[in-house]
Each structure stands twice: as structure tokens, then as C-alpha cells.
Amino acid sequence: MSSLENGPAMLSNLARPPRPSAISNALTFGWRAVLKFKHVPEQLFDLIMTPLMFTLLFTFVFGGALAGSTSDYLQFFLPGILVQTVVFNSVYSGMGLSTDLSKGLFERFRSLPIWSLSPFAGLMVGDVLRHTIAGLIILTVGLVLGYRPEAGIAGVVASFVLLIAIGFGVGWIFIVLGLLIRTPMTVMTIGFTFIFPLVFASNIMVRPETMPGWLEAFVVRNPVSHMTTALRGLMSGTATGGEVVLALVAPALLTIVLSPLVLWLYRRS
């Protein structure tokens, strides 16, 4: 333990650096999010397993019955499964936040002279990465199975931008839960209690016209349906500005309402 007794070795000879910018702080947290992918590659498995199973199951088991042929159904279903993937995977930043809080890591971050919101910027970098990676894998599987986005590369790029915006908006729900709940699994369970009905009672898997009237009335107003409609439009090149705006209403509202709440929860003590 000889060097432990040597105080000056522990202390820095380097000059104290000037206080870094908010962007520098945010980038550092983004770097942390990237490292998490490197060290916990298993999380990719979690990210894509459910959507992959859904894609294969619905296309090959139900596709023929639902749309006449599996290839027609895939063409209908794939944009929807991308929306479902992003909405479900938004849970991870909330769970990560809950873990950081329960481990006391946020106490250290909050005791540092940094931009106080930079840890959230890191969560968002992680989200964008997650949504992009999972989306690309699902899209690749779709392409292999015969899915063809009529709008080509431009449509795919526009779709991914919309997906990331959707993930950003929905992510606030889980960030609020992550700040309130100290067990990551509970964040997931409670979050999914709200998310599941929204995802399944939507137009992701079947056309609302086939549903009973009361359900159809809900489904056509469900924000997840608006997101799916816009994404189908972007992929096929038929999207209208109105459809895209409708898809963005819910994410925008969630951001406007929940981001101040997140700030308040983060700063209260």
C-alpha cells in the first residue's frame, strides 16, 4: 500500500482545466451511451428480438389471412413494426436512468460543476443509437423477406427521422417513470401497462375498418395509428404534410408537458 500513503501521487499536477461547455458535457454523456453498447452487446438482442418475432409471426402465420398474401401483408406491416419497435425501446433510457439513480451515480453527476441537463442529453444519444440500430436491423430483415419501400432511400431516411422524433417524445414518459421509480423492472412494467393498449389497439397490425365500431373510433384517434400512417406514407412516397404533422402531435405534446416535469423532478430534493 506504499503508494496509497503518497498523497501528492493521488493529486493532480495538471492545471485545472477551464470549465467545459454544455455541449462538451453532453458529448461526454453521449460517449458513455456508446460505451454501453460496446460493453453490453446483449442489449441489442433485447432490442430486436420482440420486433423480429412479431415480423416473422405476423407475416407468415397471419399474413395470408389478414391481407391475402404474406408479401402484401409484409408491405403493410413493416412500417408499423418499426413504430412499435421504437415505442417499446423507448423504455431503455428510463430503465437506465432508474439504474443510475439507484446506484447513486446521479448524486455524483449532480455534485459536479456541469450543465445540469447534460446527463439527459446522454440518454437521448443512447435513444437515437438504439432506434437507428434496431430500425436498420428490422428493415434489413424486411428487405430480405421481400419488403420494398417505394419511396426509396429518401423515404427510408425521412422515415427514420420521424421514428427518432417519435422515440424522443415517447421517451419522456419513461424518463419521468425512471426519475420516480428506483427499480428498473418496475419502470418497464408500469410503462408497458400504458404503452401496450396503445400499440395493439392501433392500425399497426390490422386495418381499423375490420374492427367493431367503438374500437375503430378509438383506433383512428390513437396517436400510434397516426404515427404508423405517416410512416407508411413516407416509406411508399404517398405521405401528406398533414399526416406527418398529425404523427408529430403526440411526441410534441409529450415533450412540452413532460420535459418541465422532468426538470422539476430532477432538481427537487
Partner 1 sequence: MNDLNPMGTMPAAHDTLPLAISVRGLAKRYGDVTALDGIDLDVPRGMIFGILGPNGAGKTTLIRLLATLARPDSGSATVMGHDVVSDPQAVRGAIALTGQFASLDEDLTGRENLVMLARLWGFSGSLAKARADELLAAFELSDAARKQVKSYSGGMRRRLDIAASLIVTPGVLFLDEPTTGLDPKARQGVWKMIRALAQSGVTILLTTQYLEEADQLAARIAVIDRGRKIAEGTSRELKSAIGSGFLHVALADNGRLDEAEAILERTLGATVQRSAEGAQLSVVAGSTRAANEALAALISAGIELSDFSMGSPSLDEVFLALTGQPMEEETGGEAS
Q: Which is nearer to partner 1, 5 or 209 (CB)?
A: 5
4 binds partner 1 (CB under 8 A): yes
Q: Which is nearer to partner 1, 37 or 62 (CB)?
A: 37
47 binds partner 1 (CB under 8 A): no
For residue 38, how far is the Cα from the chain centroid? 19
When binding is defined by CB under 8 A, the residue of 18, 41, 241, 242 that contacts partner 1 is 18
Cβ 175 vs Cβ 191: under 8 Å = no
Binding pattern for the stretch 116-135 against partner 1, x by CB under 8 A and - elsewhere: --x-----------------
Say how far apart CA 259 and CA 156 lie, in whole Å.
29
Task: Tabulate helix, strand, coil % of the chain (nearest 5).
Answer: 80, 0, 20
42 binds partner 1 (CB under 8 A): no
Say how far apart CA 26 and CA 5 lie, in whole Å.
36
148 binds partner 1 (CB under 8 A): no
CB of 34 to partner 1, least distance (A): 11
Indicate the helix (H) or strand (E) that contains 97.
helix 91-102
40 binds partner 1 (CB under 8 A): yes
41 binds partner 1 (CB under 8 A): no
Say how far apart CA 62 and CA 68 lie, in whole Å.
10
Binding pattern for the stretch 98-117 against partner 1, x by CB under 8 A and - elsewhere: --x--xxx-xxxxxxxx---
CB of 109 to partner 1, least distance (A): 8
Say how far apart CA 101 and CA 107 lie, in whole Å.
8
Closest CA to 119 of 22, 46, 207: 22
CB of 95 to partner 1, least distance (A): 13
When binding is defined by CB under 8 A, the residue of 24, 189, 238, 240 that contacts partner 1 is 24
CB of 13 to partner 1, least distance (A): 8
Q: What DSSP string runs through 203-223? A: TTTS-GGGS-HHHHHHHHH-H
207 binds partner 1 (CB under 8 A): no
Q: Which is nearer to partner 1, 18 or 242 (CB)?
A: 18
Closest CA to 245 of 265, 261, 216, 223: 223
When binding is defined by CB under 8 A, the residue of 20, 71, 211, 265 that contacts partner 1 is 20
Say how far apart CA 150 and CA 173 lie, in whole Å.
33
User: Which residues of this protein are in contact with partner 1, per CB under 8 A?
Assistant: 1, 3-12, 14, 16-20, 24-25, 28, 31-32, 35-36, 39-40, 100, 103-105, 107-114, 118, 269
